[in-house]
C-alpha cells in the first residue's frame, strides 16, 4: 500500500495540476481500486487537498 501511495503522490506532482482519481489511475497505470484506497488514506492523513470539486493535488 505504501508503494501505491508514493506512486499516486508522484503522479499527482508530475501532472502539475489538480487531478481526479481516474486521471491518476490512467497516468500511473495503477488499478482504479488501488488509487481509490490510496486517495482515502491520503485524505485522512491530510496529504492531499481539493482546490476544485472532484480534483485533488498534494498539500504543500
User: What is the spatial distance between Cα 6 and Cα 47, in angstroms, rounded to a whole number?
Assistant: 11
**Average of per-residue pLDDT across 29-54:** 96
Per-residue pLDDT band for 55 (boundaries 50, 70, 90) equals very high
User: What is the spatial distance between Cα 39 and Cα 25, in angstroms, rounded to a whole number?
Assistant: 11
User: What is the spatial distance between Cα 45 and Cα 38, in angstroms, rounded to a whole number?
Assistant: 11
* pTM summary value: 0.89
- What does the pLDDT look like over 3-41, one tens digit per residue? 999 999 999 999 999 999 999 999 999 999 999 999 999
Range of the domain at 19: 2-58
User: What is the spatial distance between Cα 29 and Cα 47, in angstroms, rounded to a whole number?
Assistant: 21
The CATH number linked to 50 is 1.10.10.10
What is the domain count for the chain? 1
Amino acid at each position: 500500500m505504501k508503494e501505491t501511495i508514493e506512486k499516486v503522490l508522484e503522479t499527482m506532482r508530475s501532472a502539475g495540476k489538480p487531478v481526479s482519481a481516474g486521471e491518476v489511475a490512467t497516468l500511473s497505470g495503477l488499478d482504479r481500486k488501488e488509487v481509490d484506497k490510496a486517495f482515502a488514506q491520503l485524505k485522512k492523513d491530510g496529504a492531499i487537498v481539493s482546490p476544485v470539486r472532484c480534483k485533488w493535488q498534494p498539500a504543500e
